[in-house]
Structure 1
C-alpha cells in the first residue's frame, strides 16, 4: 500500500553507507509511518545493523538522505537524533552494572529538565513491572532478561517518536522475548513508531504492519506483514533472489 507524503515519519532515500572504504548499504530506501511497526529482516551481514547505525547518526553516510519528521538528518549525530525523538536501542548494549536501575534511567535523561526526569522514569518503568520493583538494585544484580528490559526502558525515557530495536531477543529466553515484543506492540498502539531488527522472523511479524528485507546491503523485499505469500518471499529474499 503506498504511503502518502503526510503520513511519513521516517524516509530513508537511496542511502549509501559503510565503514571507511567498505560500502555496506547500496541505495537503501524505506519509509515508516507514525505509529507503525516495521520489521527489518535479512541474513547475517545483510546490513541491518549498519542501516540503524546510519539512521541514528552513529555512522556517516556517503549518499542519499534520511528525513525524519520532515527534516533531513544529514550531519546529525546521535545526540541530535535522540533529541528529535529517534531512539536507537543498540544490539548487545549493556547497562551500568554499578549504578542502580533508577540511576541508569536517570543517566538516559540527563539533559531533560529536572522536573521532568522522575515522571519520565516512572512512565518508562510502568512498561516493565519486573524491574520497577528493583529500582534501587544495582544494574549488575539483574538477570540478563531484566537488563534487556532496562536497556529498552532507557530508550523509553526519551518518549521517542520512533524506537529502533536491534535484536532485542538476543540471548533471551522465549518468555522474555515475548515480553519485550509485547511492549513494542503497546508503544505502537500509543502512537510510537517501531523499527524492529529481529532474527526470530515469526515473532517479529506477529505485531508488525509491514516488513522490509535486506540482502547484500540492498532492499530485496517490501511487503505488508499479513501477505499470505510472505513466507515464500522471505525465503527467496534470504537466498539472495530479488522478489518482484
Structure 2
C-alpha cells in the first residue's frame, strides 16, 4: 500500500524541482520509500528518472522542494555526504577501473571506511556475486560486461547502504544476466536494505518491487502497489501522459 504518513518513510522526496542550468526537468516531484522496501521508478526516456536520482543524491542542485532521509534534510549535501548518511547511488553507465583488480575496485569504493572494516565489507559485497568473488584478483577490464555491472553494484554495497538507488542496472545486459543482477535486489530486500530502482524493463522491475511510481515530463503521474489489478493499463496511460490529471494513490 502507498505510504500515508511521511514519518513512515526512510526517503521522503517533497515537491522537488531540479534540472540543468536554466532547463527545468523535475516539476514538483514527490516520492517516498520505506525502510526495507523496493520501489520501481518507471517512465519513458526523458521523463526525468535519472535527473531525480541525481538530485536526491546531491549530484544536482534543487530549485525548490526538499529531500528528507531518515528524518534529516539532505539540502546542501553532496554525494559523499549522502553516501555517508546511508543513501548510495549507483549511477547509470558507471564504469569500473579497468586497470585495477576487482578487489582494488571495491577497496576504492570504501576509501573512507575504517581500515579494519574494509575487508569485511568487501567480503559482504562479494557474497552477493559469487561470479566475481572468484575473480577478485583479476583486472576489472578482464570481466565480461555483466560481471562489470555486478562489480558496479558491489561497489555500492561496500557502503552498507540503508537505501540503494540503482539507475538502469540491466542496461546492455543479456536477459540471463539481467535476472542475475536483479535477483540481488530481492536479496537486499530480505536483508532489510531499501532499493529505489530505475529500470526500462517494466515487467522485470515490477516483479522486483513492492510499489511503483511513474514519471512523465518531470512529474509523478502514478503511484501504486505492484499488486494493483489494473496496473499495466495505468502505466500505459502514464507513459503517454494521460494520467497526470487523475493519478490515484
Alignment TM-score, normalising by the size of structure 1: 0.99
Partner residue of 1:70? Answer: 71
Unaligned runs of 5+ in 2: none
Instruction: Report how many aligned residue pairs link the two structures.
Output: 244
Which aligned pairs between 1:164-179 and structure 2 lie closer than 5 A? 164-179=165-180
1:52 paired with 2:61, answer no
Quote the Cα distance in structure 2 between the aligned partners of 1:110 and 1:122: 15
Which aligned pairs between 1:73-222 and structure 2 lie closer than 5 A? 73-222=74-223
Give the conservation status (yes or no) of the 8 Å contact 2:87–2:161: yes
**TM-superposed deviation, 1:207:** 1.8
Against the structure 1 CA distance between its residues 200 and 25, is the aligned structure 2 distance closer, same or farther, given a 3 Å change threshold?
Answer: same
Partner residue of 1:225? Answer: 226
SS at match of 2:10: strand
Quote the Cα distance in structure 1 between the aligned partners of 2:62 and 2:8: 25
Quote the Cα distance in structure 2 between the aligned partners of 1:4 and 1:156: 29
1:30 paired with 2:31, answer yes
Partner residue of 2:21? Answer: 20
Map Cα deviations across residues 98-132 of structure 1 (whole Å, 9 max, x no partner).
Answer: 00000000000010110000000000000000000
Give the conservation status (yes or no) of the 8 Å contact 2:6–2:12: no
SS at match of 1:115: helix
Map Cα deviations across residues 123-147 of structure 1 (whole Å, 9 max, x no partner).
Answer: 0000000000000000000000000
Quote the Cα distance in structure 2 between the aligned partners of 1:92 and 1:207: 21
Quote the Cα distance in structure 2 between the aligned partners of 1:7 and 1:215: 26
Unaligned runs of 5+ in 1: none
Alignment TM-score, normalising by the size of structure 2: 0.97
- Range with greater deviation from structure 2 (11-20 or 1-10): 1-10
- Range with greater deviation from structure 2 (5-14 or 99-108): 5-14
Map Cα deviations across residues 193-236 of structure 1 (whole Å, 9 max, x no partner).
Answer: 00000000000000211000000000000000110100000000
Q: CA RMSD in A?
A: 0.8
Stretches of 4+ aligned residues off by more than 6 angstroms: none
